[in-house]
């Protein structure tokens, strides 16, 4: 087929830095909190002992060096001071300049995409105003990876034309991570079931949440866990209480301030379940029965030892609701929702067994209970593993599913399958050869010999496919939809 690789590449930019908490000699995970230590207390004491003139001069030097790299650096310094204030060795009034300086000692720049910018997904943007008739505005999500291999979700925006070419908007040098707010209410029965899915003993989960109301708040849970720590309870019950807190923190909402450019927004790990990163968001523009649109994204939260499937919901890419996916059918990575209900039910693809593509249905996008295998590896280039490369795309001929296959030497290629529109468990077409293989200049990177995507879109009869290059950078390819469907029918 006539696959067109475009002369456009997104590479990691170490200049895009986020202000993050820093504590000397402590490995600070995204969710890290200050703990009293001799080292931290010594730093605080040294700054408190400085005379006012030295404080002013040192602060002026810091602000002169860093103020043009961040929009709100003073506010962040003050916020960091408030986090460290309980550790101050003395009582008394502290001047604003000294607060700012103390905050700077416990802040550092984090280059969120210094290592990689990859695994893209692409969706039609909510706002399509001001475009030429042949243009479509899109939002691109990317997995950004920085120091410590911690991943976050970052965004770009741009315009696609009918010939499949894309034009990216200029990228801001500034990035913003909003302060998350916990969910307003939590369901006790759901919490117990989810804790059991996380490996917590059922009886321990019941004991840990015993006195909570059927619908409780974060404050209720914090009080209950504090009570458990004062009581003579088993380590299993204490662990269940801690896991309940982690689970509650994994259900939250973030809202960016108005007026930010799309490239300035970053969803950085917040909850303990995400402490080692947010991986491979698969965004989909979901059309409700009434014709309105909502955007969902499934992603993998990783805490350093265990993965947790999560879901994001937004209507405007300003406010994002984050929650846990529930049920035995959401095991493993690579979950991707269909863009509408099928026969009245939500539908999703997954790779529950780590090898085959599964299909599942549910009446609630947050709960998934059963799945069935619909596509197995059949060609040598996918014998090791088969999974999706994003949400299915609806066409007149059926559901277009981009797949990833892993073959000899752990080489990743992108393939395509076609599912029946009314019964997506029925495979009606499949390419025998990959749609996209790593080109000679795409084989080197953080993970060699990989092309991979988390989602594509169709614009005016052309499939536009952003794809990752060896887990390092992102490129774009396109192919005529008619040509692709013809090959699928022939295959």
**pLDDT tens per residue, range 424-470:** 999 999 999 999 999 999 999 999 999 999 999 999 999 999 999 99
Predicted confidence (pLDDT) at residue 34 exceeds the cutoff of 60: no
Q: Which architecture, in CATH terms, is 4-12+112-179+251-490?
A: 5 Propeller (2.115)
The model scores a pTM over 0.75: yes
pLDDT bracket for residue 347 (50, 70, 90): very high
Q: Per-residue pLDDT for 138 more than 80? A: yes
Q: If you average pLDDT over residues 6-12, what whole number do you get? A: 96
Q: What are the DSSP calls for 214-274, one per residue?
A: SEE-HHHHHHHHHHHHHS---HHHHHHHHHHHHHHHTSEEEEPPTT--GGGBEE---SGGG
Contact partners, residue 51, CB within 8 Å, separation at least 6: none
- In 162-228, DSSP assigns E strands to 166-168, 181-182, 186-187, 215-216
Mean pLDDT of 394-402: 97
Mean pLDDT over residues 71-84, rounded? 93
Q: What are phi and psi of 27, to 5 degrees?
A: -75, 110
At 490 the pLDDT is: 86
Phi and psi angles of residue 200, each rounded to the nearest 5 degrees, phi first: -85, 135
Mean pLDDT of 257-264: 94
Query: Is pLDDT of 28 > 60?
Result: no
Which residue in this structure is represented by tokens 């490369």?
389
Give the span between the Cα atoms of 445 and 434, in whole angstroms: 21
**CATH 2.115.10.20 domain residues, the chain:** 4-12+112-179+251-490
- Secondary structure of residue 14 in the 3-state scheme: coil
Mean pLDDT of 400-413: 98
Cα–Cα distances in angstroms (integers) from residue 423 to residues 387, 388, 420, in the given order? 19, 18, 5
Alpha carbon distance 459, 457 (integer Å): 7
- 438-458 burial, b if ≥16 CB within 10 A, otherwise e? beeebeebbebbbbbbbbbbb
End-to-end Cα separation, the chain, in angstroms: 13
Nearest to 160 by CA among 152, 169, 171, 170: 169
- 29 band by pLDDT with thresholds 50, 70 and 90: low
- pLDDT per residue as tens digits for the range 164-210: 999 999 999 999 999 899 998 999 998 898 898 888 999 999 999 99
pLDDT (average), residues 10-20: 95
pLDDT digits (tens, 9 = 90+) for 141-175: 999 999 989 999 999 999 999 999 999 999 999 99
| Residue 16: per-residue pLDDT | 95
Quick one: pLDDT band at residue 398, thresholds 50, 70, 90?
very high
| Strand-pair partners of 358 | 350, 373
pLDDT of amino acid 446: 94
pLDDT at 305: 87
Q: What is the pLDDT of residue 198?
A: 86
Where residue 222 falls among pLDDT bands split at 50, 70, 90? very high
Q: Which residues pair with 479 in a beta bridge?
A: 463
Provide the mean pLDDT of the chain: 94
What is the per-residue pLDDT for 407? 98
């Amino acid at each position: 087929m006539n696959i067109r690789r475009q002369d456009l590449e997104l590479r990691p930019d170490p200049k895009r830095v986020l202000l993050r908490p820093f504590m000397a000699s402590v490995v600070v995970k995204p969710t890290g909190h200050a703990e009293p230590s001799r080292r931290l207390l010594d730093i605080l004491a040294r700054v408190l002992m400085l005379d006012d003139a030295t404080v002013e001069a040192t602060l002026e030097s810091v602000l002169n060096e860093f103020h043009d790299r961040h929009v709100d650096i003073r506010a962040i310094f003050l916020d960091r001071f408030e986090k460290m204030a309980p550790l101050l060795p003395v009582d008394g009034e502290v001047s604003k300049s000294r607060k700012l300086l103390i905050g700077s000692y416990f802040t550092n720049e984090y280059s969120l995409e210094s290592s990689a910018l990859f695994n893209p997904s692409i969706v039609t943007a909510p706002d399509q105003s001001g475009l030429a008739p042949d243009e479509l505005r899109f939002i691109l999500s990317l997995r950004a990876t920085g120091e410590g291999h911690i991943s976050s979700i970052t965004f770009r925006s741009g315009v696609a034309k009918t010939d499949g070419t894309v034009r990216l908007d200029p990228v801001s040098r500034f990035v913003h991570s909003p302060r998350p707010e916990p969910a307003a209410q939590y369901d006790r029965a759901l919490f117990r079931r989810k804790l059991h899915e996380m490996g917590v003993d059922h009886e321990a989960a019941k004991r840990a949440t015993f006195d909570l109301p059927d619908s409780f708040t974060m404050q209720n849970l914090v009080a209950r866990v504090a009570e458990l720590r004062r009581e003579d309870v088993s380590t299993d019950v204490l662990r269940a209480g801690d896991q309940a807190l982690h689970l509650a923190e994994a259900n939250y909402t973030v809202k960016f301030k108005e007026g930010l450019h799309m490239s300035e927004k970053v969803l950085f790990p917040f909850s303990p379940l995400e402490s080692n990163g947010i991986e491979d968001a698969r965004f989909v523009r979901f059309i409700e029965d009434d014709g309105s649109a909502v955007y969902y994204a499934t992603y993998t939260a990783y805490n350093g030892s265990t993965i947790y499937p999560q879901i994001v919901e937004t209507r405007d890419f300003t406010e994002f609701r984050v929650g846990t996916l529930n049920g035995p059918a959401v095991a493993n990575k690579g979950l991707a929702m269909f863009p509408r209900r099928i026969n009245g039910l939500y539908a999703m693809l997954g790779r529950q067994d780590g090898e085959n593509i599964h299909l599942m249905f549910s009446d609630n996008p947050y709960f998934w209970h059963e799945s069935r295998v619909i596509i197995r590896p059949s060609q040598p280039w996918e014998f090791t593993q088969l999974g999706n490369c994003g949400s299915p795309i609806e066409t007149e001929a059926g559901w277009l599913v981009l797949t990833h296959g892993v073959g000899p030497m752990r080489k990743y290629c992108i393939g395509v399958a076609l599912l029946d529109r009314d019964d997506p468990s029925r495979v009606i077409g499949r390419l025998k050869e990959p749609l996209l293989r790593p080109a000679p200049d795409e084989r080197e990177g953080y993970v060699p010999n990989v092309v991979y995507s988390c989602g594509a879109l169709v614009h005016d009869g052309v499939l536009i496919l952003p794809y990752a290059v060896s887990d390092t950078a992102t490129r774009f390819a396109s192919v005529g939809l008619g040509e692709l469907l013809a090959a699928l029918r022939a295959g």
